[in-house]
Structure 1
Amino acid sequence: MVLFGTLVNGGLIVIGSMLGLFFTRIPERYKETVMQGIGLVVILIGLQMAISTDQVIIVLLSLLSGAIIGEVLRIEDVLNHFGTWIGSKFATTSDDVSISQGFVTATLVFCIGAMAIIGALDSGIRGDHGVLITKGILDGFTSLVLTTTLGMGVMLSVIPVIVYQGSIALFATYIDKWIPEALLNGLITELTAVGGLLIVAIGLNMLKLTQIRIGNLLPSIFTVILIYYIYQLI
């Protein structure tokens, strides 16, 4: 089953979030310190991914073009509005802003990264769900901690996670017919690097050191594909 790994990943996020709802009474100073710890680890993960690039110019051009597209489309605002709207449908006591923040933060943390892309590709190309199941375990624990601070919105992130990873897995069942393996491996490297920088930005925002509009940088995940292809032609 192509979507098995994605469904397991989504299920573990839901379980972790449900458990997190029972720990919301944890003192605020504990939550703050734990979130800072997660933020530091997120930055470390992002840096490890970012330095994997073989061509920094591809990463730079991808982020620049992605940022322009994101600002024009105002993706950050769309994500926030969607998080607020969907939160209002599922919750009546939570603050809309908190729900939106939890939804957007968790969606970015769970969707952007090497494990999401490579795991989904493995599921589609080789039928190997090991990477996504491992990711699901990590996401489940992370969602538990995030939910204690950001609330119900974290659980709602399971929707884009399943759509995103499921789409990649389904696409991957045909990708080997269109893209040579060597080209695909190089593309994954640059995708990982771009995603890593976005994850670093998430960590910095979690530490409240910056207010980077990460949503408006998301198109770079897609522009890197075109830029990498053009670079290979040149």
Structure 2
Amino acid sequence: MRGLGTLINLVTVAVGGGLGMFAGDRLPERVRRTIMQGLGLVTLAVGIVGLEPLYDPAAGLRRFIVLISGIILGGLVGEALRLEDRLEGLGSRLQRRWSSDPGGPGNPGHAREATTENRFVEGFVVASTVFCAGPLTVLGSIEDGLGISIRSLAIKSALDFFAAIGFASVYGAGVLGSLVTILVYQGGLTLAASLVEPLMTAEVIAQLGAVGSLLVLGIGLRLLDIARVRIVSLMPALIIVPAIAGAVEAMFL
């Protein structure tokens, strides 16, 4: 079912936000850290499993060369456009835009002292940015729309569940307002991907799954604090790798 990943994500954010509003800060930091580490390990495992197209005896080497080429070109394009820096800057500007003191919406003390209206707006902006700006949103929505897998959105849903608990414990009901943003943005990406599916061959989809899984591995490394891979700057590879794969298939296969 196309869009199932987004529906799961909406449910986890709604439940997590509700728990956060009632539970407050009762979940110890060590518990949150352990859970995040567990999710990081699961993310690594999902990324490794998704690299299966590279293991094909007949096409594996060709796909590996295409993947390397696309990742390098994608990284060059992403860094030239400063995608990672721009996305981080956007999040910072959105937070400052709705901040009523220098502490900003990321400051729990500030959030608790703000008016009810400000807390709602801040919770909405912060949660919407975190839940929709990450690479798993784009990658997962594309995979879901093309019918490849909902694994990426399943991982995102688990991460968003615990993030929603934390945000809602500070900002309150505004976090639940981000459900609208998730539905419109993530659902729109899924719909767009489903519309271009007729143009996708089995080989192109296999290569897209491989490059997506490689980026998921990078996310796992970030969650485990092993390496801060600049995932967003590598995301042009999601377009470049399938394009190269399609060109190679048209010329030689």
1:111 Cα offset (Å): 3.2
Identity among equivalent positions (%) equals 21
Match of 2:240 among 200, 208, 223: 223
SS at match of 1:52: helix
Whole-Å Cα distance in 2 between the matches of residues 111 and 142 of structure 1? Answer: 15
Whole-Å Cα distance in 2 between the matches of residues 122 and 77 of structure 1? Answer: 31
- Normalising by the residue count of structure 2, what TM-score does the alignment of the two structures yield? 0.68
Query: Contact (CA 8 Å) 1:12, 1:136: kept in 2 or not?
Result: no
Partner of 2:135: 108
Partner of 1:12: 11
Q: Is residue 196 of structure 2 the alignment partner of residue 185 of structure 1?
A: no
Partner of 2:79: 71
Whole-Å Cα distance in 1 between the matches of residues 98 and 180 of structure 2? Answer: 14
Partner of 1:127: none
Aligned in 2, Cα 1:188/1:160: closer, same or farther, shift over 3 Å? farther
Partner of 1:120: 145
SS at match of 2:225: coil
Amino acid at match of 1:28: E
Aligned in 2, Cα 1:159/1:13: closer, same or farther, shift over 3 Å? farther
Whole-Å Cα distance in 1 between the matches of residues 16 and 99 of structure 2? Answer: 14
The higher radius of gyration belongs to 2
Aligned in 2, Cα 1:5/1:207: closer, same or farther, shift over 3 Å? closer
State how 1:184-203 maps to structure 2 within 5 Å: 184-203=201-220
Whole-Å Cα distance in 2 between the matches of residues 76 and 157 of structure 1? Answer: 24
Whole-Å Cα distance in 1 between the matches of residues 240 and 75 of structure 2? Answer: 10
1:121 Cα offset (Å): 2.6
Whole-Å Cα distance in 1 between the matches of residues 218 and 5 of structure 2? Answer: 25
Query: Contact (CA 8 Å) 1:191, 1:221: kept in 2 or not?
Result: yes
Whole-Å Cα distance in 2 between the matches of residues 169 and 36 of structure 1? Answer: 32
Q: Is residue 82 of structure 2 the alignment partner of residue 49 of structure 1?
A: no
1:62 Cα offset (Å): 1.0
Whole-Å Cα distance in 2 between the matches of residues 209 and 5 of structure 1? Answer: 31
1:91 Cα offset (Å): 6.7
Whole-Å Cα distance in 1 between the matches of residues 132 and 228 of structure 2? Answer: 12
Aligned residues: 215
1:192 Cα offset (Å): 0.8
Whole-Å Cα distance in 2 between the matches of residues 192 and 37 of structure 1? Answer: 23
SS at match of 1:208: coil
Partner of 1:128: none
- Normalising by the residue count of structure 1, what TM-score does the alignment of the two structures yield? 0.73
Whole-Å Cα distance in 2 between the matches of residues 104 and 14 of structure 1? Answer: 9
Partner of 2:33: 32
Q: Deviations over 1:84-134 (max 9, x none)?
A: 2334456766317xx59x727972234324xx33421349xxxxxxx66x9
Aligned in 2, Cα 1:46/1:60: closer, same or farther, shift over 3 Å? same
CA RMSD in angstroms, aligned pairs only: 3.7
1:230 Cα offset (Å): 2.0
Query: Contact (CA 8 Å) 2:43, 2:155: kept in 1 or not?
Result: no
Q: Which consecutive residues of structure 2, in runs of 5 or more, have no partner in the other structure? A: 55-59, 108-125
